[in-house]
Amino acid sequence: MNKKEFDYVIVGAGIAGCSMAHFLSKYSKSILLIDRNSAVAFGASGAAGAFLSPLLGKPNDFKDLITKSLIFSTNFYKNLGQELINNCGVCRIPKNQEDADKFDSYKPYMDFEYKQMNDGYFFEIGSQITPSLICEKLTENIEKKLSYNVIKLEQNENFIWIINDEIYAENIILTTGADVKHIKEEYFDIRGVWGQKIDVITSTETKINYHKECSVSKASKIENTKLFKVSIGATHHKFNCDKNICNYCIETANINACSRCYNDSIINSDSLKLIALANDIIKLENVEVIDVKIGARASSNDYFPMLGALVDSKKSIEKYPHLLNGTHIKNSMLETINNLYVINGVGGRGFVLSPYLANELVEHIINNKEIKDNLTTYRLFKRWAKKQKNKVIGKK
């Protein structure tokens, strides 16, 4: 068996992994991108509507993150190629009167220019991209190993990572979304929220993107016909599966062929629901569903993404047992797993967040740029550590 060595191996070829590969390639030519699927952007990223839209609301840290990411990622996609992004604008429409009142209260805090449009607000920055085209462009010069399942991941005494006893890496970056089987830390809690996107053919031409209870894309003309293709997404499902017993749907290579949880009944029901929600925005005539994609979006409990090194909980608590009492410890003092990094928890805004987060992580790895506390895994570890003390007290 030939031994293959790399400076960086990225596991997961969705938008987060492909963005990591792109930014890392500025500093290293020794990069391998691995995915269990046969193509990039095949899982949750492929099932995303890939709409880029502002987050409305009063100022807070999460809104600030989305705004920074939206500006960064929109410019990033445009620089990759104007043909790769459809910057047609988006009309955000309130769902009901209560929602309309909220929208009205947000007006003093809008981060982007907008104008009133019928019952909603039109933002010029709204865009949509095609996941496969973007991810293929990002990784066109990156070595890939597709249709490859990482079964065994371990680190030797020299802190070199070994995959399946054949691939060696100085550094591992996990961008595996809802499938966190390679992360053995209990505090790293990810929820898979399942979503569905459909492409339809319709005789109705939509001129911009819309968002109400679902998103509807600008139409693309089908050559030599009077018909148009429109994307509609997305639905949300949380299945009460015990991942310690069965993680099949998360781990299977082609989730679109999985029928254990996300079965034909749910798929058909969600397609009808999406068409109904779309018609509540703009009436689509002569609709025919031509493609359905499903995937599990990875979300953290506090909705913020997770970025950077992984805290080694066992070593950190052994070193600082008073962590269990809630004692404050500087992040830099905590023990981390050597040369292992993650991007995860991007939720339904993966195509907004991932390029920004990937650039931040690469600059952290290469140039020691500090990552904001609310994006690191440290925040999750510290909350989890406090709960362990409460569990011990509760057992007494």
Residue 378 corresponds to which amino acid?
Answer: Y
Q: How many residues does the chain have?
A: 396
Percent pLDDT > 70 in the chain is 90
Q: Average pLDDT for residues 352-380, to the nearest whole number?
A: 96
pLDDT tens, 230-239?
Answer: 999 877 665 5
| Whether the bond into 178 is cis, omega within 30 of 0 | no
Query: Please, which pLDDT band fits residue 262 given cuts at 50, 70 and 90?
Result: low
Residues contacting residue 25 through CB under 8 Å, at least 6 positions apart: 31, 141, 142
* Model confidence pTM above 0.75: yes
Q: What is the DSSP string of 20-88?
A: HHHHHTTT-S-EEEE-SSSSTT-STTTTS--EE-PPPSSS-HHHHHHHHHHHHHHHHHHHH-GGGEE--
Rounded mean pLDDT of 295-299? 88
Are the CB atoms for 163 and 9 separated by under 8 Å?
yes
Report the candidate in 116, 108, 94 with the shortest Cα–Cα distance to residue 57. Answer: 108
Q: How far apart are CA 338 and CA 335, in angstroms?
A: 9
Domains of the chain (ranges, CATH numbers):
1-50+130-189+309-396 (3.50.50.60), 190-300 (no CATH)
Q: Model confidence over 19-45: pLDDT tens digits?
A: 999 999 999 999 999 999 999 998 889
Which pLDDT belongs to residue 390? Answer: 59
> Rounded mean pLDDT of 302-309?
94
Average pLDDT over residues 256-267: 63
Question: pLDDT digits over 322-340, tens only?
Answer: 998 888 889 999 999 999 9
DSSP result, 293-354: EEEEEEEETTS--EEEEEE-HHHHHHH-GGGGGT----GGGS-EEEEEEEEE--GGGHHHHH
Token readout for 100 is 């309309």
State residue 238's pLDDT score. 56
Provide the pairing of β-strand 167-174 with 4-11: parallel
pLDDT score recorded for residue 261: 57
